[in-house]
Amino acid sequence: MRQIRQSKKLQGVRYDVRGPILVEAQRLEAEGHRILKLNIGNTAPFGFDAPEQIVADMVHHLPKAAGYSDSKGIWSARTAVMNYYQSRGLRDVGVDDIYIGNGVSELISMVLQAFVDDGNEILVPAPDYPLWTAAVTLSGGTPVHYLCDEADGWNPDLADIEAKITENTHALVIINPNNPTGAVYSEDVVKGLVDIARRHNLVIMADEIYEKILFDDAVHHHAATYAGDDVLCLTFSGLSKAYRVCGYRAGWVMVSGPKEIATDFLEGLTLIANMRMCSNVPAQHAIQAALGGYQSIEELIVPGGRFYEQSMLADRLLNEIPGVSNVRPKGALYCFPRLDPEIYPIEDDQQFVIDLLRAKKLLITHGTGFNWPKTDHFRLVTLPDAKVLEEAIERIAHFLEMRRLG
């Protein structure tokens, strides 16, 4: 019989955080092993319950949430998002500038489908959250990776961005706070990025889903603030991380800047939104409750709070392993340490992660899975409580000790 093949569109599309490494973890689980899975930033399995206010609001609205909504989202959710950005100084944001989606993930795919033509180049950070590279590729575009500089606190290398701009470059993706590096960009860096977009007529796509997960004196600056009224900016955020409801699937994209030059693109985006009817309506109700309610995230990100303490602990313990260095995260939920290649020469980092998984029953993600060009990094999710985190890093340290040169 003829083999049924995946479409050619999927050639080169990768999403390794749930790729072959997860398949191997599931195979081991089926054999009866208990696997500690630190490959994905999913808060619920680590004892972070959804805030009660949000659950109560969803339950309250559930009986009336059985119908499709407007494809851009229910009014209360869109006004709540509008009010949020207005309160952050973005006065020109209106309710029509907001699209609600099944998480930021769906909106990234929708926006890129509406925006990218075959061969268009989109600047994406390296390392990145790999959905960006995958979704650019799937929409027919070419992801062009610009480097974030580990030696400079993982800040984007502005000269590298400039050097990679061609006449085919159409957009600049910014992930701030960053997954996987934990970098939070200063005002100057954000201004520098926006300036590049301004000078080269690029659209900014700013993924700000971790905007409320900030440590110590880190401050989040919306790219849209500096993009002003002359750079088209699409700002993505949602409830998954700051409100610990990844599974509800609730996110938004906000359009700002010279919308009059983007009417055709926005019609296309609305068409794509219409084609999928609407996003999950019960979860849309949660948006108003979340943005308008008690911000319990603030308890988690200060000293004594779990997000803060676990991030700092992971950073400290990773740095204590010989030949391992980690840039202290300023935000988000991850560490992205470097393994000194002189001490741990790694040819294939996915294989390295699979070997660790088999030996230590611990699942982390290899750096090349985030489009990092070298095989010398991995990403660790810092969501487990301190005891489990210590145990996980101990397993990594022991595994590395066995592989150490000299």
Structure tokens at 145: 């990776």
- Residues 172 and 197: their CA atoms lie apart, in Å, by 7
Closest contact distance (angstroms) between CB of 275 and ligand PLP is 19
| 105 lies in the binding site for ligand PLP (CB under 6 A) | yes
Which residue from 54, 114, 209, 286 is in contact with ligand PLP, where contact means CB under 6 A?
A: 209
Structure tokens at 184: 């939070």
Interacting span for ligand PLP (CB under 6 A) from 102-110, 119-127, 156-164, 397-405:
102-110
The residue among 103 and 182 lying less far from ligand PLP, judged by its C-beta, is 103
Grouping H, G, I as helix, E, B as strand and the rest as coil, residue 235 is strand
Residues 3-42 interacting with ligand PLP (rule: CB under 6 A): 41
| 103 lies in the binding site for ligand PLP (CB under 6 A) | yes
Grouping H, G, I as helix, E, B as strand and the rest as coil, residue 157 is coil
The residue among 18 and 374 lying less far from ligand PLP, judged by its C-beta, is 18
**What are the distances in angstroms from CA 273 to CA 9, 57, 69, 133, 276?**
21, 25, 11, 21, 6
Q: Which amino acid is at 169?
A: T
Q: What DSSP element (H or E) covers 155?
A: strand 155-156
The residue sitting closest to ligand PLP, measured at its beta carbon, is 103
Interacting span for ligand PLP (CB under 6 A) from 101-109, 151-159, 350-358, 360-368:
101-109
Closest contact distance (angstroms) between CB of 238 and ligand PLP is 4
- Residues 1 and 362: their CA atoms lie apart, in Å, by 40
Residues 172-191 interacting with ligand PLP (rule: CB under 6 A): 175, 179
DSSP state of 242: T
Structure tokens at 20: 């072959």
Interacting span for ligand PLP (CB under 6 A) from 64-72, 99-107, 149-157, 298-306:
99-107
Strands 362-363 and 36-37, how do they pair? parallel
| 246 lies in the binding site for ligand PLP (CB under 6 A) | yes
Interacting span for ligand PLP (CB under 6 A) from 98-106, 293-301, 310-318, 319-327:
98-106
The residue among 330 and 360 lying less far from ligand PLP, judged by its C-beta, is 330
Closest contact distance (angstroms) between CB of 394 and ligand PLP is 26
Closest contact distance (angstroms) between CB of 180 and ligand PLP is 8
DSSP state of 140: T
Closest contact distance (angstroms) between CB of 399 and ligand PLP is 25
Q: Spell out the residues 6+ positions from residue 260 whose beta carbon is closer than 8 angstroms to its own.
A: none
Grouping H, G, I as helix, E, B as strand and the rest as coil, residue 232 is coil
Distance of CA 194 to the CA centre of its chain: 19
Point out which residues bind ligand PLP (CB under 6 A): 41, 103-105, 129, 175, 179, 207, 209, 238, 240, 246, 251
